[in-house]
Structure 1
Amino acid sequence: MYIHQLRNWPQFQWDNDVITSLLAEVRHRQGRLLGRMEGLGFHLQEEATLQTLTLDVLKSSEIEGEVLNPDQVRSSIARRLGMDIAGLVPADRNVEGVVEMMLDATQRYSATLTQDRLFGWHAALFPTGHSGIHKIVVGGWRNNVKEDPMQVVSGPMGRETVHFQAPDSDRLQHEINAFLKWLNSPEKIDPVLKAAIAHLWFVTIHPFDDGNGRIARALADMLLARADESNKRFYSMSMQIRAERKTYYDILEETQKGTLNITEWLQWFLACLNRAIAATDNTLAAVMRKAKFRERPATQTINDRQKLMLNKLLDGFEGKLISSKWAKITKVSQDTAVRDIQDLIERGLLIREDAGGRSTSYILKEE
């Protein structure tokens, strides 16, 4: 029996004595982080938000086994937020769709969540009306028959493990109506707890043919933005869930097969959120490093190609940077690439790497 089949569904309960101290710790950590960010100034906040939203989109898709192009995600977010950054690249339609959903959730966090808004998110995720090779219902709830229930499964075909079974499709409109009425009601509980419950509740209903997990995480992000009372995002819950993906699926499955006492789910969610906020130290360190580098006088008059490549190095360039890679990425001749690199060396921004080999490679010169 699954929780949505229980007589008192969806009257969730939890142990306040257990949850209160965890929630207080999370709220304290959130407050400290937001206080630190307010002291950094607008441009650093903007950079941190771009970094965090990029991670959110990438990691939420990775949880579902979909790997997106980081440059496309970053470019799509920057364009939509009106940010002026070097090296913007065109983004595929599926990237634009995930970004559109995430930004609508986090930038319009105080807007009422409606059925049409959910349909819009789903349509953005699946612009072609297909999930892989399968045609799906877009702009409406799934309509599977009772003989073919919506099951969340894993494992090879023929030997799948059923993690849980969602409500039959003839119940969906009633279930969604109850969910939206609760979510849009004035806050009776802390919005961080509301984020945890909304995530679980939406996953349980599983109203769409596909994309339910990503939409559930977008809903959680929307409610966490409400908790912060800010559309600037400085921590990524999806990045932390991706790091703990097995535990995430295990606790969801256990909760689906348990009772309406969801204390253990809330404990895990709050602890995961706490770890997500703690992990921002790495994000902020990278943002500060980039800001410090860009403030150097020698960076003020460099060309767009050089800005692009320095940004890639600051973001963590994959592999060795050699002149042929520079030429390929910036779409210039080898001679132009060498001149660009030599200019940055003379400015004290790049140095040749000591490591030997046939091709000379280059790294940032830190102050």
Structure 2
Amino acid sequence: MQLPHLIWQEPDWPQLRYDEMRISAEIALARRAQGIVEGKLAALGFAQRQELAAEAWSQEAVATAAIEGERLDLQAVRSSVGRRLGVAGSKGPQAARHVDGLLDIMDDAISNAAVPLSDERLQAWQAALFPTGFSGMSKVRVGAYREHAEPMQIVSGRLGHENIHYEAPPSATVPAEMQLLLTWLNRRQEADSLVQAALAHLWFETIHPFEDGNGRVGRVLIDLVLARDSGDSSRLIRISQRLLEQRDDYYRQLELAQHGSLDVTDWITWFVTQVRVACEQASLVIDESLAKARFWFLHRDKELAPRQRKLLNALLDAGPGGFEGGMSTKKYEHLSGASRATSSRDLIELEQMGLLRRAGAGRSTRYHLNIEGWGSE
């Protein structure tokens, strides 16, 4: 694989290097975490998997935009994703055109991961992000690689005191650079897809082929490579959300890889670690979904008032420790709209039926779901 131009030079680059022994241990851990996720998913029903996939996809869309400093309406994103996956109860505000465009390319990357990637497909992805041809107040070139004569620079800081982090190769070289990248990517030349994803993202961000949208398209590229292994189950792995949590380190690691030697072992190791953590986080989310399923299965014969069922679902949705301090009569009164006496009676009944457990006494009485590991012990 030829090296993308970290700082523009003549195109006679040697091969990128990485130490397979150093990255092998982290890859093994990430693969184990990935396998646990897939194993737990097998224990869920189709509807549960779709619900988890819809929430993960929604959070990923919000996260990849947030990395670029854009805030999306989570409810609108959830509504659009829910309609795409056929998840019940997906009513909500209409997502903006550019948000639907982002969801389109995220879906295409996973649903059509096996289809070879082309210039045209990448350019269509970028165009979907800017349906008006503008990024904010600035007109951008869409559906095509950049062509401006001035250098493409990644900068930070206020006007007149900019800090240049990186300068991409000249626009005239971008088509040839992208052809090298796409040829390598479509041939799947790396032995492990986690390595391929790490290198593909680094290479793409280094070329920076578009006037705008490179970060979002580059992270969708990660989704595509990982989906080649895992298919639809890769939707549960929230890579962009993890990168958002590590945003400063993410940018720093990219910058170090772009300005360092030809050895990119450190970048690959860091990237694979983030995938592993994202898998571990997904595993916890699935555990919560399994706990909810077991809870309702154990109590399937209980006769509950609608307001009691609403309370239990709210506690389940909040997850372990989700209602800080537990559920009090006053909190339930606000949640259900019932009177204080009715709220108190409902909670006592739920405790007697074994759905809730009580902690404290008097005004300090709090209720938690009767699930091991959830709430106060």
The TM-score range, normalised by the shorter chain, is: 0.7 to 0.9
Which residue of structure 2 aligns with residue 357 of structure 1?
A: none
- Displacement of 1:105 after TM fit? 1.0
The answer for the alignment partner of 1:20 in structure 2 is 24
Count the aligned residue pairs. Answer: 350
- Residues 33-42 or 121-130, more deviating: 33-42
1:163 aligned counterpart, secondary structure: strand
Name the residue aligned to 1:55. 59
The equivalent position to 2:167 in structure 1, one of 149, 165, 168, is 165
CA contact (8 A) 1:172 1:205 kept: yes
Kindly provide the amino acid, as one letter, of the partner of residue 162 in structure 1.
I
- The reply on whether 1:284 has 2:282 as its aligned counterpart is no
How far does the alpha carbon of each residue in 1:2-47 deviate from its partner, in whole angstroms, 9 at most, with x for none?
Answer: 3553754373111112112221221122122211211223222222
| Alignment partner, residue 250 of structure 2 | 248
Partner of 1:201: 203
How far does residue 80 in structure 1 lie from its aligned partner after superposition? Answer: 1.2
Decide whether aligned partners of structure 1 residues 225 and 105 sit closer, same or farther in structure 2, where only a CA change above 3 A counts.
same
C-alpha distance in structure 2 between counterparts of 1:210 and 1:293, whole Å: 47
Given the superposition, is the C-alpha separation of residues 10 and 284 from structure 1 closer, same or farther in structure 2, using an over 3 Å criterion? farther
Change (3 A) 1:10 1:207: farther
Report the alpha carbon displacement of residue 301 of structure 1 after superposing the two structures with TM.
10
Whichever residue aligns with residue 287 of structure 1, its letter is S
1:333 aligned residue: none
Q: How does 1:186-225 map to 2 (within 5 A)?
A: 186-225=188-227
Residues 161-170 or 83-92, more deviating: 83-92
Q: Quick check: 2:110–2:231 contact (8 Å CA) kept in 1?
A: no
- Asked whether the 8 Å contact 2:44–2:290 carries over to 1, the reply is no
CA distance in 1, matches of 2:267, 2:199: 9
Q: What's the offset of the Cα at 1:164?
A: 0.3
Once residues 199 and 49 of structure 2 are traced to their aligned partners in structure 1, the CA distance between those partners, rounded to angstroms, is 29
Structure 2 residue aligned with 1:234: 236
Which residue matches 2:363? none
After superposition, residues 322-341 of structure 1 pair within 5 angstroms as: 338=337
RMSD: 3.8
Indicate the residue corresponding to 1:127 in structure 2: 131
Aligned position for 2:267: 265
**Structure 1 residues 310 and 152: alpha-carbon distance in aligned structure 2, compared to 1, 3 A threshold:** same
1:76 corresponding residue in structure 2: 80
Helix, strand or coil at the partner of 2:144: coil
Separation in 2, partners of 1:177, 1:41: 42
The alpha-carbon distance between structure 1 residues 289 and 8, as it changes in their structure 2 partners (threshold 3 A), is farther
Distance 1:231 1:190 in 2: 18
* Residue identity matched to 2:177: E
Distance 2:79 2:302 in 1: 21
1:38 to 39, 42, 50: 42
Answer with 195-204 or 234-243: which moved more. 234-243
- Map 1:91-106; keep pairs closer than 5 Å: 91-106=95-110
Q: CA deviation at 1:81?
A: 1.8
Aligned ranges 1:299-310 → 2 under 5 Å: none
- Give the Å deviation of 1:234: 2.1
The TM-score, its normalising length taken from structure 1, stands at: 0.80
Equivalent residue number for residue 314 of structure 1: 317
Q: 1:302 & 1:198 partners in 2: Cα distance?
A: 54
Aligned-partner Cα distance in 1 for 2:226–2:148: 32
- Using the TM superposition, give the Cα deviation of residue 286 of structure 1 relative to its aligned residue in structure 2, in angstroms: 3.8
In 2: Cα distance, 1:240 partner to 1:168 partner: 31
Counterparts of 1:124 and 1:366 in 2: how far apart (Å)?
A: 47
Query: Per-residue deviation at 1:188?
Result: 4.2
After superposition, the Cα gap between the structure-2 partners of 1:139 and 1:66, relative to the gap in structure 1 and judged at 3 Å, is: same
Residue identity opposite 1:106 in structure 2: I
C-alpha displacement of 1:230: 4.0
CA distance in 2, matches of 1:61, 1:254: 23
Secondary structure, aligned partner of 1:128: coil
Say which SS state the counterpart of residue 67 (structure 1) adopts: coil
8 Å Cα contact 1:3/1:260 also seen in 2: no
- Name the counterpart of 1:108: 112
Change (3 A) 1:312 1:64: farther
Equivalent position of 1:141 in the other structure? 145
Distance in 2 separating the partners of 1:246 and 1:300 = 51
Runs of 5+ in structure 1 lacking a partner? 327-336, 355-362
- Give, in whole Å, the separation in 1 of the partners of 2:117 and 2:34: 24
3-state SS of the aligned residue for 2:165?
A: strand
Describe the SS at the equivalent of 1:238: helix
CA distance in 2, matches of 1:233, 1:27: 16
1:251-277, CA deviations, whole angstroms, 9 ceiling, x for partnerless residues? 111111112211111111111111111
The answer as to 2:106 corresponding to 1:64 is: no
Contact 1:4–1:10, Cα closer than 8 Å, also in 2: no
Whether the aligned pair in 2 keeps the contact of 1:196 and 1:269 (CA below 8 Å) is: yes
**Does the CA contact (< 8 Å) of 2:7 and 2:169 recur in 1?**
no
Unaligned runs of 5+ in 2: 361-366, 372-377
- % identity of equivalent residues: 35
Secondary structure (helix, strand or coil) at the match of 1:216 reads: helix
3-state SS of paired residue (2:283): helix
3-state SS of the aligned residue for 1:62? helix
Q: Say if 2:40 and 2:286, in contact at 8 Å, map to a contact too.
A: no
Deviation at 1:181, TM superposition (A): 0.9
Task: State the alpha-carbon separation in 1 of the partners of residues 20 and 282 from structure 2.
Answer: 28
Secondary structure of 1:142's partner? coil
- Residue type of the partner of 1:73? V
Please tell me the residue identity of whatever aligns with 1:314: D
